[in-house]
């Protein structure tokens, strides 16, 4: 809650209780086969089991720092098979009678030249095509035919028919379609694996930042080089300038600037001093630090971030599930269409090679590789894009639901505001300057740890006020502070101090105090030589990004509400300054969830944005829970989306990313399924009576275009600039 006025300084300390909840992390399991053929990502298997590729001979191992999967072996294998198969496809194309007829050229004939295409096609089938057949085995074993089954059906049908046709009608064989089909499949999987690898690339780089050793400080001040995994909570380590922080901890001694860009995305180093928390893997600046270890291994911020990103990569959205179901249904549709095609054409023209060609064309065209790429590519790219922008998507469904949100509820303290007192306005009497008054007040408050004192000192530092020498410092219990400056008594305190000194604000000072009170701010006075010379208005400092965040949300047609336990006057003041639509003030922590529910009962789709402090029930109740400023508390179970930085503008990025991701998914599904809806009836010969028949060649070409369009369309998501007006 917002600090409320007391008689001494007009404020009390802001207490924070942070919850550290752990979430379950499901390890991935792998279905293996005799040849250890590579498995594809989640879209490629409808048994919904996650796979661990570490056992694959062509795979890289798991990174020692994290539990996420290394897809580089998959990517290299598909890339290698794609290029080799593509090179082997060249002679298949050149010696294809159909290709020669189309382009009007003739390859030189020599003994056995008619077998060139077939021989190279056999090599392509077993080198580039058999892995897809192996990946279809688990689908068939589980009686859940899906994308790998359909791909295998198309490859086997094209290969078997072409072998048969070379003896019956060489002109009707389409080895070249089979070869190019396999090439396209390999290309699609290469692109998919590359996207997954790039999505995990940032995590691999983070893992590399964690040092292997640390300098452990002994009781006598000496240091000892130890392995990081030998550290214990409570140990104190020395972090030299330019070195990596070995574990999460708290600064016990020293001051420095810490580069946290690898965690938060914020390029500016963050000033840290005694008592501040530091994150393992971040880079120390030019100061020497002694850090007391508070978290190790799986409990560290970095490990939590990596778990969350991996969990997001593994989780499926509604759209992904829809794509999986579509692939399963398409298998049965393809078989049914092929059977009906065979029956209809046999009745119409008798059983011949042309009937087989029609059936094979249907099976080839039914291959849904574009559908298989439609969602996984977008998921991988959007997850990487989110991580680069400081957004950790714990639940894919939460990100997908974010596009439907029409009301965002912000918890005020620590979210829209910084949760600390700061000087928001100052007034001085004639002959005084704001810099001088602030400098003297800061000097008098120099030894106090009170939030008001900290706020005044921060303001003096921002103004660059000259340092003032203070003597004879004394605290006046319940009223303020007294000291001497240049031989004169100087007092700093609130209204009760003025009562003791028998002073009453007048003129501009009195007017200033009344305005501060109406805005729910605290007025602190500077008294010198028996005269009130200045007054400071202090309040919970509004984050500089909050106003722009509210404006951006309004631009997205999203209403903004503010939820706070502060007084109505304080809440209304902040809401007026930020342009907030709805104010929910004087709300007890246990009633926050109730207020969110009331908004939902009005038919609103609500996102709750909180800092994780007493917000868990409201975050859970909301349609989308967003935890902000949780860089050191990434395991909040109640939030579907976690923002590393305490920046309200990142909330806007969540909705922009959600909408852009959903658009790409739908566009890709339309491209992928639209092709099948149109091409299958044409391939079956539905319009044959009017002379329109989709040839295998044209069908394969359209299929290739569909796959390429889906892949390129997903890649366009990389260019999305989040948070830009």
- Residues designated as active site: 411
Q: What's the 3-state SS for 266-312?
A: CCCCEEECCCCEECCCCEECCCCEEEEEEECHHHCHHHHHHHHHHHH
Burial of 276 (0-12, 13-18, 19+ CB in 10 A): middle
Of 625, 572, 628, 618, give the one whose Cα is nearest residue 594. 618
Rounded to the nearest angstrom, the gap between the alpha carbon of residue 659 and the centroid of all alpha carbons in its chain is 14
- List Cα–Cα distances, 12 to 3, 433, 517, 561, in angstroms: 5, 28, 16, 26
Both tokens of 578, joined, read 């930020």
Phi, psi of 376 (to 5 degrees): -55, -40
Looking at the DSSP assignment, which residues form a beta bridge with residue 642? 392, 627
Q: Which residues pair with 411 in a beta bridge?
A: 563
Query: How many other CB atoms are there within 10 angstroms of residue 678's CB atom?
Result: 13
Edge-to-edge strands of the sheet including 270-272?
Answer: 270-272, 256-259, 283-284
Q: d(Cα 406, Cα 603) in Å, to the nearest integer?
A: 10
List the one residue out of 234, 201, 198, 204 whose CA is nearest residue 216. Answer: 234
Length of the chain: 725
CA-based torsion, 432, 437, 439, 443: positive or negative? positive
Reported as half-sphere exposure (CB side, CA atoms, 13 A), residue 530 has a value of 1
Residue labelled with tokens 């944005």 = 609
Distance, in Å, from the CA atom of 671 to the CA atom of 374, rounded to the nearest integer, reads 8
Q: Which helix (H) or strand (E) covers residue 526, if one does?
A: strand 522-528
Strand partners, 534: 428, 526
List alpha helices for 350-414, DSSP H.
353-366, 369-374, 376-388, 396-401
Residue in 621, 561, 628 with CA at minimum distance from that of residue 597: 621
Query: What phi-psi label fits residue 724: left (phi over 0), alpha (psi between -120 and 50 degrees) or beta?
Result: beta
């Amino acid at each position: 809650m917002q600090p409320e006025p007391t008689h001494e300084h007009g404020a009390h300390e802001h207490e924070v209780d942070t919850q550290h909840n752990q979430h379950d992390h499901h390890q991935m399991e792998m279905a293996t086969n005799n040849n250890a053929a590579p498995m594809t990502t989640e879209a490629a298997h409808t048994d919904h089991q996650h796979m661990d590729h570490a056992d694959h001979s062509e795979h890289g191992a798991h990174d020692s720092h994290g539990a996420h999967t290394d897809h580089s072996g998959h990517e290299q294998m598909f890339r290698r098979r794609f290029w080799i198969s593509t090179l082997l496809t060249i002679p298949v194309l050149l010696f294809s009678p159909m290709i020669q007829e189309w382009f009007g050229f003739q390859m030189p004939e020599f003994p056995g030249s008619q077998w060139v295409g077939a021989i190279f096609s056999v090599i392509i089938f077993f080198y580039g095509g058999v892995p897809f057949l192996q990946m279809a085995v688990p689908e068939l074993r589980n009686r859940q035919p899906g994308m790998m089954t359909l791909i295998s059906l198309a490859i086997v049908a094209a290969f078997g028919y072409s072998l048969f046709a070379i003896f019956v009608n060489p002109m009707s064989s389409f080895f070249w379609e089979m070869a190019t089909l396999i090439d396209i499949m390999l290309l699609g999987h290469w692109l998919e694996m590359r996207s997954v690898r790039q999505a995990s690339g940032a995590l691999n780089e983070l893992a590399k930042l964690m040092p292997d050793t640390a300098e452990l400080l002994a009781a006598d001040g000496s240091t000892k080089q130890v392995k990081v995994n030998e550290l214990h909570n409570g140990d104190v380590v020395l972090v030299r300038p330019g070195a990596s922080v070995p574990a999460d901890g708290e600064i016990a001694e020293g001051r420095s600037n810490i580069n946290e860009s690898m965690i938060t995305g914020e390029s500016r180093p963050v000033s840290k001093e005694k008592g501040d928390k530091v994150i393992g893997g971040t880079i120390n600046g030019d100061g020497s630090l002694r850090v007391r270890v508070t978290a190790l291994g799986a409990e560290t911020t970095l490990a939590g971030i990596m778990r969350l990103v991996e969990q997001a990569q593994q989780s499926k959205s509604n759209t992904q599930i829809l794509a999986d179901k579509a692939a399963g249904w398409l298998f049965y549709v393809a078989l049914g269409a092929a059977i009906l095609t065979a029956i209809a054409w046999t009745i119409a023209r008798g059983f011949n090679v042309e009937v087989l060609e029609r059936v094979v064309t249907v099976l080839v065209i039914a291959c849904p590789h574009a559908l298989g790429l439609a969602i996984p590519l977008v998921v991988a790219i959007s997850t990487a894009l989110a991580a680069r922008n400081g957004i950790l998507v714990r639940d894919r469904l939460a990100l997908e639901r974010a596009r439907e949100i029409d009301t965002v509820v912000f918890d005020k303290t620590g979210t829209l505001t910084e949760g600390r007192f700061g000087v928001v306005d100052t007034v001085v009497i004639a002959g005084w300057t704001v810099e001088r008054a602030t400098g003297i007040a800061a000097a008098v408050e120099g030894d106090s740890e009170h939030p008001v004192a900290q706020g005044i000192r921060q303001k003096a530092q921002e103004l660059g006020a000259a340092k003032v020498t203070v003597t004879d410092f004394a605290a006046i219990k319940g009223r303020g502070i007294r000291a001497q400056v240049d031989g004169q008594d100087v007092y700093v305190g609130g209204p009760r101090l003025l009562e003791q000194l028998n002073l009453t604000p007048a003129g501009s000072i009195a007017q200033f105090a009344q305005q501060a009170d109406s805005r729910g701010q605290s007025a602190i006075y500077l008294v010198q030589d028996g005269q009130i010379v200045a007054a400071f208005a202090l309040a919970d400092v509004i984050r500089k990004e909050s106003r722009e965040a509210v404006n951006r949300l309004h631009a997205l047609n999203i209403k903004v509400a503010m939820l706070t336990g502060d007084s109505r006057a304080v809440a209304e003041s902040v809401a007026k300054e930020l342009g907030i639509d709805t104010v929910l003030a004087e709300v007890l922590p246990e009633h926050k969830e109730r207020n969110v529910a009331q908004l939902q009962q009005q038919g609103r789709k609500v996102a709750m944005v909180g800092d994780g402090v007493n917000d868990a029930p409201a975050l859970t109740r909301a349609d989308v829970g967003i935890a902000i400023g949780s860089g050191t508390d990434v395991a909040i179970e109640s939030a579907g989306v976690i923002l590393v930085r305490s920046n309200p503008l990142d909330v806007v990025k969540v909705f922009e990313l959600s909408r852009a991701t959903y658009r790409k998914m739908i566009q890709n599904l339309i491209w992928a399924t639209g092709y099948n809806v149109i091409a299958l009836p044409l391939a079956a010969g539905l319009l044959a009576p009017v002379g329109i028949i989709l040839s295998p060649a044209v069908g394969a070409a359209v299929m290739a275009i569909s796959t390429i369009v889906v892949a390129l369309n997903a890649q366009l998501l990389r260019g999305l600039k989040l948070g830009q007006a």
